[in-house]
Amino acid sequence: MRQLTLGGVAVRVAITLLCVLWFIPTLGLLVSSFRDEADVKTSGWWTVITDPFSQWTFDSYRQVLESGMANAFVNSIVVSVPATLLPIMIAAFAAYAFTFMRFWGRNVLFMLIVGLLVVPLQVAFVPLLNLFTDYDLNGTFLAVWLAHTGFGMPLAVYILRNYMSSLPHEIIESAEIDGASHFQTFWRLIVPMSVPALAAFAIFQFLWVWNDLLVALIFLGAGDNEVVTITLRDLIGDKGQEWHLLTAGAFITMTVPLLVFFSLQRYFVRGLTAGSVKG
């Protein structure tokens, strides 16, 4: 199959075309973000091909960072990390019980979790807003942490439980015979053995929270605590003509997910393959 047959050439041409097609929109944004404001607004980014040694600048990045993006970047980190770690621990305990313990209502409860995987988040917003208002939580980080913990829980339990049920049961049984309690078995055996699944979910949830606009818009809103997706949305909405700021802003918001994604791609892919549903 490796010879350069007609079919082989066709395959190469087709895949190259697809890749170019997929990459061009992003490339346009990347190139534009380093161009001068006047150039971005008056000529296409592809003109740099004929004039490659002019007009490069970091001005747009500097401007957009100074106009609130730096603050939003910090906020996004403060939102994303706890919103990733909190659901993992709670879900890990539950997944352990669903996998290794027998109790009344186990199957019903787990089916409930499977069902909740597909429930659209929107159904929860109005009552949760009311609830958070009662406790004066709207616009605080705590509100988003809690909301993301709740919304991420079904997928977390589902992925971790599926992974744990693939672990050899004999290990747990022998631990039990040796007199280990469930609590000890959980911390000393199951958690270390589940690291791939825990990492996969962590990456998944982190990207989801970092990239989320809707939950942030509703429970955090604009202002001091706004996250990068909201800042970017405002750039698009209010300054629709400020293309130079928009391109730089978009790339700043993309740095963290792309970094996470390219450094941990292996785990990320495994996470997708393990639990390919998100509620």
Structure tokens that stand for 177 in this block: 């015979």
Q: 53 vs 104, which CB is nearer to other proteins?
A: 104
How many angstroms separate the CA atoms of 198 and 186, rounded?
13
Residues 215-254 close enough to bind other proteins by CB under 8 A: 224-225, 229, 232-233, 236-237, 243, 246-247, 249-250, 253-254
> Which of residues 48, 69, 86, 172 is near other proteins by CB under 8 A?
86
Q: What is the DSSP string of 155-199?
A: HHHHHHHHHHTTS-HHHHHHHHHTT--HHHIIIIIIHHHTHHHHH
Q: Are 117 and 278 in contact (CB under 8 A)?
A: yes
Counting contacts by CB under 8 A, is residue 272 touching other proteins? yes
- DSSP summary character for residue 223: S
SS (HEC) of 133-165: HHCCCCCCHHHHHHHHHHHHHHHHHHHHHHHHC
Minimum distance from residue 21 beta carbon to other proteins (Å): 9
> Which of residues 9, 38, 44, 169 is near other proteins by CB under 8 A?
44
Counting contacts by CB under 8 A, is residue 116 touching other proteins? yes
> Which of residues 55, 59, 141, 180 is near other proteins by CB under 8 A?
141
In the chain, DSSP assigns E strands to: none
Q: Is 249 exposed, middle or buried (0-12, 13-18, 19+ CB in 10 A)?
A: buried
Minimum distance from residue 113 beta carbon to other proteins (Å): 7
Binding mask 158-187 for other proteins (x = CB under 8 A): -----------------------xxx--x-
How many angstroms separate the CA atoms of 80 and 16, rounded?
36
Q: 98 vs 163, which CB is nearer to other proteins?
A: 98
Minimum distance from residue 93 beta carbon to other proteins (Å): 5
Q: 178 vs 276, which CB is nearer to other proteins?
A: 276
Q: 23 vs 58, which CB is nearer to other proteins?
A: 23
Counting contacts by CB under 8 A, is residue 196 touching other proteins? no
Minimum distance from residue 173 beta carbon to other proteins (Å): 15
How many angstroms separate the CA atoms of 230 and 216, rounded?
8
Residues 1-40 close enough to bind other proteins by CB under 8 A: 1-2, 7-8, 11-12, 14-15, 18-19, 22-26, 28-29, 32, 40
Counting contacts by CB under 8 A, is residue 149 touching other proteins? yes
Q: 59 vs 81, which CB is nearer to other proteins?
A: 81
How many angstroms separate the CA atoms of 262 and 180, rounded?
40
Q: Give the interface size with other proteins as a residue count (CB under 8 A).
A: 118
- Quick one: which of 86, 81, 90 has its CA closest to 186? 90
